Each structure stands twice: as structure tokens, then as C-alpha cells.
């Protein structure tokens, strides 16, 4: 998700809106854990997988331009592409959990046992698959910022105000989240739901899974991400260490030695951790090789920050393409220094110019606006098919903000930033 903030800088003499990303998946490596297979998203948008592959759930080598992955709790995998469309691989049941090819403008996906949930950029939610317990009855949801699909036929939605909604099977109390407040992330696997609060503490409801204690998280502090397995719960701490409670029959909670972790995922009876250097660790049930991730390196080496001249060239091109003029010294120095010390990324520079009064006062028509985006973000002229696609969306009433997000999150813009030795997003 991206939040819009208003920034004023005297150095540039302009007021602009910029986007600050708090989306863990945009341009980032990611791991996802299913029933018996594990999926890894690389920073170049390609995907790897290990584990059970009886239905092709690990046949992902052809996937490109992926920005988030979800591993179904049975035998399928879901991938969210940078253009907001969705792809799947693996088992396709008669319930239709893989019938997502028509989805557009999706910004996050989650996969249950036989149902798939998609969060749209406007905060509404779509669903496909088994609806025997009403787990797909999400069409009325609005202002959602994260979704989570459970194995035991339920769906959880986190709202922008920090409250939580749920639909589906509540036999074990996993949907009893209506009283939760100040939540910033949710996780569900089987019959318990976990919520991470804005103060770093954790709440949980549902079954304690045969007294294993998967919901005994009230003492946790300084947590920045949570994950839920069948009978265990995992918490990633702000210092990169990991805690866990619940069932430990396969060693899935033996995480005390882990450090430098940036993301965790909980499979049925195993746990996966993505390290800050892009390598991956895993413990627990490995009956189908789902923990064989030691050879993975999901992050390409970010280039060292380039010379000042190269970064100045990146900034100068936005002055020329977007504002149609040469850079003034103060503004050029401000943006260059911000990029060199990593307080800003390429996306911040780009949106700063696109939302500046100097640019918006040009009052460009939709055709000209799309042409500027192609030149600024892709460093090329638009191709006919792509231009028609984006122009059609604008002419059908979509906001320029939404179109801009498509360019910001594209692999092509990430590649452009890489050539200048800067980060596309922080």
C-alpha cells in the first residue's frame, strides 16, 4: 500500500505530493509457505519454488514481473504481477480458486485452501473459489488495506482505520476479531487468527490447537511481522530475531538462533525466514523438500551508489522531461544528496516532479500525460499497445494517481533506476 504525504521544500521552491511505500512486496524479495511447498520471489520479479509439485504448483520458472506471491494451503500458487493482474499455477479444482485471469488493479493476494482473495487498489476486495461457508462474501468490503485467506474456510480483512473484519467458518472463533483496534497486520492459517498492533504487541483469537498454545502471544513486544501456521505462531522482532509459540512436533518453533531476518512465513508445520542478505532459512517438516531453500539467493546485489555525476543526470532528466527546463542548482543538489544518502529513492523523485504545481499547471491532456510517463519512467517513447492500454484506462475514468502507480511499480522503472545505481523504492 502507498500513502500520500504532503511535503514542502524551499530548496526546490515547489510544493509536491510524494508517495512513501509501506508495501513489503513492491520491489522486495519475499517468501511464502504453503502446505508442502515454498515459494520465493526474487527482486528481479522472477519466482522460485521447492517442495511438493504434484499439480505443477512449483512450475513457476516462466513467471516474470511478479511483485507478490502467495502459496495456497493445498496445491496451488498465486502470483501478483506489477501491472495488477494475477496468475496461478497448480491444482485447479471445480470450485474455481484459480479463476482469476480477469482480475485487474490488484495490489495484494492471499490464497486459502480452495479460495483466493484479491485486494484492489481502491480498497475493495474480490474473491474466487469455494464459498461453502461464505468465505468469499467480501464484495461489500471497503477501505481494506490487507487480506488474509485461511485454510479453514475463512477470510480476514484489515481496514485502513486499524479495525478488522472477517467472513466464513467460525467454528473455532477465528473470525471473532470485531473488537480489535490499532492493528497493522493480520495472519491466519487454520483455526486461529493473529493481529499485530501498531505498538508492536500481538493479539490472537481462535483455537489454541489442542492446547499447543498457538494463541499465547500476549507477552510479545517489539514485533514487526507475524505469521500463522497450523498449530504455531511466528513473530519477527524489530531487531531481526524471531519468536514462536505453539506446536513444535517438527521443530517449526526452533528459531531462537535466527538473526538478520526481514520476513517470515509459516507453512503447515514448518517456518521460513528471509534474511536481509536475500538468503533463506527454514526449519520444520521437510517431507517433500519444502525446507530445501539453503541455496536460494532472492536479492540481486544492489549496485553501489554511483558517482554524483550519474545521479545528477538521473535528476536532471526529470527537470527536462517533466518540467521542460534545466535544473536549478538548489533543487538539483537537494534531490542528488537525497538519493546518495538513501533518504529518497527514484520513485520519490519521480512523483515529486509529477505532483509538482509546475507540472500540474501545464494541464496536459491524457495522451500527453501518458507520453510524459513513458519518457520519464521508461526512458523511451510509448509503444502503441501500451499507450492505448493506459490511455483507455484514463479515458474510462481512472485517476492519474492510479496510472502513475502502475509506472512506479513496473520492472522497467526499477531497471532504469538500477542503471543509474539508485534504488527504485525504499
Q: Tens-digit pLDDT profile for the chain (426 aa)?
A: 333 333 333 233 332 222 222 333 335 789 999 999 999 999 889 999 999 999 999 999 999 989 999 999 889 999 999 889 999 999 999 999 999 999 999 999 999 989 999 999 999 999 999 999 999 999 999 999 999 999 888 999 999 999 999 999 998 899 999 999 999 999 998 889 999 999 999 999 998 655 689 999 999 999 999 999 999 999 999 999 999 999 999 999 999 999 999 999 999 999 999 998 899 999 999 999 999 999 999 985 444 445 788 899 999 999 999 999 999 988 898 898 888 877 888 999 998 999 999 999 999 999 999 999 999 998 888 888 888 889 999 999 999 999 998 898 888 888 888 888 888 887
Query: Residue with C-alpha cell 509501506?
Result: 22
Domain 303-419: CATH superfamily is Phycobilisome linker domain (1.10.3130.20)
CB 332 within 8 A of CB 368: no
Per-residue confidence (pLDDT) for residue 5, from 0 to 100: 30
Q: Is 366 strand, coil or helix?
A: helix
Q: Which CATH fold topology does 30-284 show?
A: Methylamine Dehydrogenase; Chain H (2.130.10)
Confidence at residue 103, expressed as pLDDT on a 0 to 100 scale? 97
Provide the CB-side half-sphere exposure for 380 (13 A, CA): 11
Give the C-alpha separation, 204 to 172, whole Å.
Answer: 12
Q: Which residues make beta-bridge pairs with 245?
A: 233
Angle at Cα 196 formed by Cα 193 and Cα 197, nearest 5°? 130
- Angstrom distance (rounded) from CA 380 to CA 17: 25
Q: Let me know if 162 is exposed, middle or buried by CB neighbors in 10 A (0-12, 13-18, 19+).
A: middle
Predicted pLDDT of residue 210: 52
> Which three three-digit cell numbers place residue 22?
509501506
Give residue 344's pLDDT: 86
Domain ranges within the chain, ordered by starting residue: 30-284, 303-419
Predicted pLDDT of residue 17: 26
Predicted pLDDT at 209: 58
- Crossing angle between the packed helical segments 308-318 and 346-354, to the nearest 10 degrees: 30
Amino acid at each position: 500500500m502507498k500513502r500520500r504525504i504532503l511535503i514542502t521544500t524551499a530548496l526546490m521552491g515547489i510544493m509536491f505530493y510524494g508517495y512513501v511505500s509501506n508495501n513489503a512486496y513492491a520491489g522486495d524479495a519475499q517468501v511464502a509457505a504453503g502446505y508442502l511447498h515454498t515459494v520465493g520471489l526474487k527482486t528481479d520479479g522472477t519466482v522460485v519454488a521447492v517442495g511438493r509439485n504434484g499439480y505443477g504448483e512449483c512450475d513457476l520458472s516462466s513467471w516474470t514481473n511478479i511483485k507478490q506471491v502467495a502459496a495456497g494451503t493445498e496445491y496451488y500458487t498465486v502470483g501478483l504481477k506489477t501491472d495488477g493482474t494475477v496468475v496461478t499455477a497448480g491444482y485447479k479444482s471445480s470450485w474455481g480458486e484459480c479463476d482469476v485471469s480477469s482480475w485487474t488493479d490488484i495490489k495484494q493476494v492471499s490464497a486459502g485452501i480452495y479460495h483466493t482473495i484479491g485486494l484492489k487498489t481502491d480498497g475493495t476486495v474480490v474473491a474466487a473459489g469455494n464459498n461453502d461457508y461464505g468465505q468469499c462474501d467480501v464484495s461489500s468490503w471497503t477501505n481494506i488495506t490487507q487480506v488474509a485467506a485461511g485454510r479453514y474456510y475463512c477470510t480476514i480483512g484489515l481496514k485502513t482505520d486499524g479495525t478488522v473484519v472477517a467472513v466464513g467458518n467460525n467454528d473455532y472463533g477465528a473470525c471473532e476479531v470485531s473488537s480489535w483496534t490499532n492493528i497493522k497486520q493480520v495472519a491466519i492459517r487454520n483455526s486461529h487468527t493473529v493481529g499485530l498492533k501498531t505498538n508492536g504487541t500481538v493479539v490472537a483469537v481462535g483455537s489454541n490447537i489442542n492446547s499447543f498454545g498457538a494463541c499465547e502471544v500476549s507477552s510479545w513486544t517489539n514485533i514487526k511481522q507475524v505469521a500463522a501456521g497450523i498449530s504455531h505462531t511466528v513473530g519477527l522482532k524489530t531487531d531481526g530475531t524471531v519468536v514462536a509459540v505453539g506446536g513444535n512436533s517438527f521443530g517449526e518453533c526452533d528459531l531462537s538462533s535466527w538473526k538478520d531476518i526481514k520476513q517470515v512465513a509459516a507453512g503447515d508445520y514448518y517456518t521460513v525466514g528471509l534474511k536481509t542478505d536475500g538468503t533463506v532459512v527454514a526449519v520444520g517438516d521437510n517431507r517433500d523438500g519444502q525446507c530445501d531453500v539453503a541455496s536460494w539467493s532472492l536479492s540481486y546485489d544492489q549496485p553501489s551508489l554511483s558517482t554524483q555525476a550519474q545521479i545528477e543526470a538521473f535528476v536532471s532528466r526529470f527537470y527536462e522531461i517533466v518540467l521542460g527546463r534545466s535544473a536549478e542548482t538548489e533543487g538539483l543538489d537537494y534531490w542528488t544528496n537525497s538519493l546518495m544518502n538513501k533518504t529518497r529513492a527514484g520513485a520519490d523523485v519521480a512523483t515529486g516532479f509529477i505532483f509538482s504545481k509546475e507540472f500540474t499547471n501545464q494541464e496536459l491532456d491524457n495522451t500527453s500525460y501518458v507520453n510524459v510517463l513513458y519518457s520519464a519512467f521508461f526512458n523511451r517513447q510509448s509503444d502503441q499497445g501500451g499507450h492505448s492500454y493506459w490511455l483507455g484506462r484514463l479515458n474510462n475514468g481512472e485517476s492519474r494517481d492510479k496510472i502513475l502507480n502502475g509506472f512506479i511499480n513496473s520492472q522497467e522503472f526499477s531497471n532504469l533506476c538500477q542503471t543509474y545505481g539508485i534504488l527504485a523504492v525504499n
